[in-house]
Amino acid sequence: MITHLTRERWDELVRLVEEDSDPEGRWLVMTHDNPDPDSLAAAAILARVLVHRFGRKTTCAYGGIIGRAENREMVSTLGLKLSHVRHLSWKNYAHFALVDTQPGTGNNQLPREIAPDVVVDHHPPRRPTQRARFADVRTDYGATATIAAEYLALSEAGMTRALATATVYAIRSETLDFRREPAGPDKALYDELLPQADKRALAKIQNAPLPVEYFRNLHAALESLETIETLIVSHLGTVEHPDIVPEIADLLLRMEGKTWSLCTGVYGERVYLSIRTTNVRADAGRLMRRLLGPNGKGGGHGMLAGGWVAITPGYADDPRSLQRLLARRLAKALRKSPDRLENLDLEAASKGPR
């Protein structure tokens, strides 16, 4: 079902692209750093619109790494074409689009001095997004890929089987099978595309082989558990890729009796963190920005959020103390006493009270 708002936004996008004074100028469609399935799918869909509806030369690119096993399998199995920004030259592109991210968020590689032509996202709007020539930011959508797929339907460029599969998986993972977001345009699109999706490819993506490092990180996460009331916290040390942090946060939230989870990990010169909650009325993105302070960037929406904090010289020799500080800030923000955060002994907890 294509809404009236989508048709209006599509008409605006058509005018922007077709009235371009440099139709030969190449487009760069960018995901957020360490892209997830939603960002990957949205980028691939928007690129197809630009290429097959408007005849524009287009490249999809990402920063960071594609670390999570399922995400790597998605790119490989579905043949998604992406380049890393380190292999590109900004001067070769005349137009820029951001999907599932916005300027000024600190989680994409678009240079600050470049105002994007197009922004498509489902996170709360940021002030720098006002500089974009076209912005479609809808917080009532569970996935950015849904917005992009509605454009594709109006463009008549054709939904491929690979893109249908990517969109189905993006919606499923972004909404946690609709436990995280209310059913609406995402569920309608999901039901429409599921018959077109490659079920074997979906199964392969969802059951991607996990590297040994995943289990090493999982062991470290379980060894470092801290808790207070309904909050569960885990601090990883240095991780091979930042994607493991939200993956562990998702897993911890499944612990019985817990409604908030926080996972942190050190990557490069930053501490990455992810918050998850089962509270449908929560604003995890706003809470994340309160935790980060001036040395960090992040955001989110509803029941999940992510971000990073630079490891300043005072914490260079002991990033763990910065991780503990973030956990204390979260406990305090949730009106829990930070001093009551205590280690969780899983063996003792499994035996119950004596």
49 and 110 belong to one structural domain: yes
CA 97, 51, 13: angle at the middle one, nearest 5?
50
SS3 assignment, position 47: helix
The end-to-end CA distance of the chain, in Å, is: 57
Residue 347 within any structural domain of the chain: no
| Same domain assignment for residues 139 and 230 | no
- Counting as low any pLDDT under 70, the low residues of the chain are 180-183, 348-354
pLDDT given at position 354: 43
- Give the three-class secondary structure for 50: helix
Give the pLDDT score at 219: 95
Q: Is residue 343 part of a domain?
A: no
C-alpha to C-alpha distance for 273 and 327, rounded to whole angstroms? 10
Q: What is the domain range of residue 37?
A: 4-206
Whether 349 maps to a domain, the answer reads no
Phi, psi of 266 (to 5 degrees): -100, 125
d(CA 133, CA 211): 42
Please give the model's pTM, rounded to 2 decimal places: 0.90
Q: Which residue, among 115, 137, 180, has the nearest Cα to 42 in the 3D structure?
A: 137
Number of domains in the chain: 2
pLDDT tens-digit series, residues 266-301: 999 999 999 999 998 888 988 998 899 888 998 888
- 206, 235, 268 - which closes a domain: 206
The answer to whether position 348 is within a domain reads no
Quote the percentage of the chain above a pLDDT of 90: 85
In a domain, 350, yes or no: no
> Does residue 352 fall inside a structural domain?
no
**pLDDT, position 181:** 62
| Residue 174 belongs to domain with CATH number | 3.90.1640.10
Pair 62, 162 in one domain? yes
Residue with tokens 């501490």: 271
Write down the pLDDT at residue 318.
94
Distance separating alpha carbons of residues 329 and 322, to the nearest angstrom: 11
Please indicate, yes or no, whether residues 296 and 163 belong to a single structural domain of this protein.
no
If residue 201 lies in a helix (H) or strand (E), which one and from where to where? helix 199-206
141 and 102 co-located in one domain: yes
Please check whether residue 282 lies inside any domain of the structure.
yes
